[in-house]
Amino acid sequence: MKILYLIIISTIFIYSEEYVVITNQKSTISSLTKRELKSIYLRKKRYYGGIKLIPLNLSLEDNLRKSFQSDILQMNFTQLETYWMKQHYKGHRPPYQVKSTKGAILFVKKRVGALAYIPYRYVDSSVKVIYRGGKP
């Protein structure tokens, strides 16, 4: 029973973790609104200042991804799955998926158009923060 409580408490903690959206230091993006982020992660907005945007997702099971999707996209799993099924039929792919936060940061450092959401505690001066989300 204690283990179950621990799992529940830690899940709540992870879900409420503050996250940030980062991009490459050379990017011309200074900040993004929630609406713009939604548009980018649904692949509706695909360019910024002439540069093609590459939004990154963490794995499906990742709690930060779930939190980000619920906060920014405001769509449940089924709605999102249906959306991407329709996009698949239209020949469009969902955001590229990386295996870990460290992988996401490495990718962002290498590609000017890349964006990723990461826990606040991972932020350093090698990347630019363009959005703050979650509960501090």
Least spacing, CB of residue 129 vs other proteins, in Å: 23
Concatenate the DSSP letters of all residues of 41-83 into one string: HTTS--EETTEEPEEEE--TT-HHHHHHIIIII---HHHHHHH
Q: Is 88 in the site for other proteins (CB under 8 A)?
A: yes
Residue selected from 46, 65, 66, 109 as contacting other proteins according to rule CB under 8 A: 46
Q: Is 82 in the site for other proteins (CB under 8 A)?
A: yes
Could you tell me which stretch among 20-28, 84-92, 118-126, 128-136 binds other proteins (CB under 8 A)? 84-92
Torsion of Cα atoms, 15 then 18 then 21 then 22, to 10°: -130
Q: Is 134 in the site for other proteins (CB under 8 A)?
A: no
- Please tell me the distance from the alpha carbon of residue 52 to that of residue 111, in angstroms, as a whole number: 10
Could you tell me which stretch among 8-16, 41-49, 62-70, 103-111 binds other proteins (CB under 8 A)? 41-49
Residue selected from 6, 7, 85, 129 as contacting other proteins according to rule CB under 8 A: 85
Task: For residue 115, give the nearest of 100, 126, 127 by alpha carbon.
Answer: 127
Could you tell me which stretch among 76-84, 101-109, 115-123, 124-132 binds other proteins (CB under 8 A)? 76-84
Site residues for other proteins per CB under 8 A: 35, 44-47, 50, 52, 76-78, 81-82, 84-86, 88-89, 91-94
